[in-house]
Structure 1
């Protein structure tokens, strides 16, 4: 009997859960538990970490998992590495479901691409003015000390993990966003440079188009490297096809 572990937390993971539910494929979605009120997928869900590679390996063995789909966020490199190691040790097939990044966006060549968040801050310093930071609350520690007295606009889904400087403006909202709204936000706060990461997808792409319309420079943190040799799919339909093909090979 097939049992798929779906490492989720993304829109793509929720789409895949719906496909697997419709096809009658047994699966369990796993969420990291970093969001207080996550958007839950269809089907069974577990929330919380596994305890590293050893804990994940044990969970896969105890729950007789026959395939794993890593549909975590493109920047969840640690979880991806753990999944690759655990699956390799047990001989369990692994698929990486990742939305395409923004490298093919029409404006991508005009953006400043950087390898990490410190480099992003340094690139924003060259522009000056008011940065609009949309890289998530777990990245803010890279900027707090350097920008303690500087006006900064930050958009978060969850509350910040630690108090932020008084000069900062914190906006709490969750996508999807539209271009008109993003333009209005940037005008209202006098944004001079946009800091984002190559999350890809349509939910948060509007800010990129708004930046182009307003002439706001964009700094993009590139995606981290993922484990080599892992099969990939760009959407839930392709991932569901991969799962069902494994099931047919067993029948």
Structure 2
């Protein structure tokens, strides 16, 4: 049995390949919304919940997992580190699908790179202006609870998941400050969104080619907005991982080795 750690558009593509080649698999997503985007099949089981190390240990033992394909988000560092550790301890084959970084050709003094969410909150807080968060929902508290940031200045673009939207409200957001949409978004959508909200800055993550990263930044720069980019986290244990960079490469592995 194979285990696919998902939560990205690439994971859904890999899921389709597993079904296409009739490979038995368990696929995980963090939320029920993510699970609803993954189509089931005779050879497939979907598990929709966040997992800690104990959960993953139990799952690989219960399902007799022989190979783990980790297609989680580049910023889901914790689950990747847990997966590497679990695979190493249980002598399970670990394959990391790594979303290629986007080499930006744009050279703009509007773009500021920071190391983490705390630094991003500090950077945008010093601007004292309306801004749009396009960096996910997990670290919203870094911004809503920052002493330099007025809550009325925060617009959050998040998944259209009731729990995520409720989290925004619990942190002090109003309905008009929540933009619930399933990405990635086009350049045109981003530009229209920025204009409609009348913001002066955006915060985003270095998500890569399929995360709509370039479209977000280019639209912002073209409108003269400040851009704060959070760099990808460094993940411990990656030196032992088999890293795959393309869907074509992962399909070859699925056909020949799983």
User: TM-score, normalised to structure 1's length?
Assistant: 0.87
CA contact (8 A) 2:114 2:228 kept: yes
Say yes or no: does 1:202 pair with 2:210.
yes
CA contact (8 A) 1:17 1:42 kept: no
1:135-146 counterparts in 2 under 5 A?
135-145=135-145, 146=147
Q: For residue 129 of structure 2, what is the aligned residue in structure 1?
A: 129
SS in 1 for 2:208: coil
Aligned equivalents of 1:29, 1:141: Cα separation in 2: 29
Q: For residue 184 of structure 1, what is the aligned residue in structure 2?
A: 192
1:24-173 counterparts in 2 under 5 A?
24-33=22-31, 35=33, 38-43=36-41, 44=44, 45-50=46-51, 52-102=52-102, 104-107=103-106, 110=109, 111-145=111-145, 146=147, 147-157=149-159, 158=161, 159-161=165-167, 162-166=170-174, 169-173=177-181
Q: For residue 252 of structure 2, what is the aligned residue in structure 1?
A: 241
CA contact (8 A) 2:205 2:230 kept: yes
SS in 2 for 1:215: coil
CA contact (8 A) 2:34 2:48 kept: no
CA contact (8 A) 1:151 1:168 kept: no
SS in 2 for 1:19: helix
CA positional deviation for 1:108: 6.6
CA positional deviation for 1:16: 0.7
CA contact (8 A) 1:135 1:197 kept: yes
Task: Considering fraction of residues, name the structure with more helix.
Answer: 2
SS in 2 for 1:143: helix
SS in 2 for 1:219: strand
User: TM-score, normalised to structure 2's length?
Assistant: 0.85
For 2:234, which of 215, 220, 225 is the aligned residue?
A: 225
Question: Can you give the 5+ residue segments of structure 2 that lack an aligned partner in the other structure?
Answer: none
RMSD: 2.3
CA-to-partner distance for each residue in 1:131-169, whole Å, 9 max, x for gaps? 111112221101113324542221111314124245972
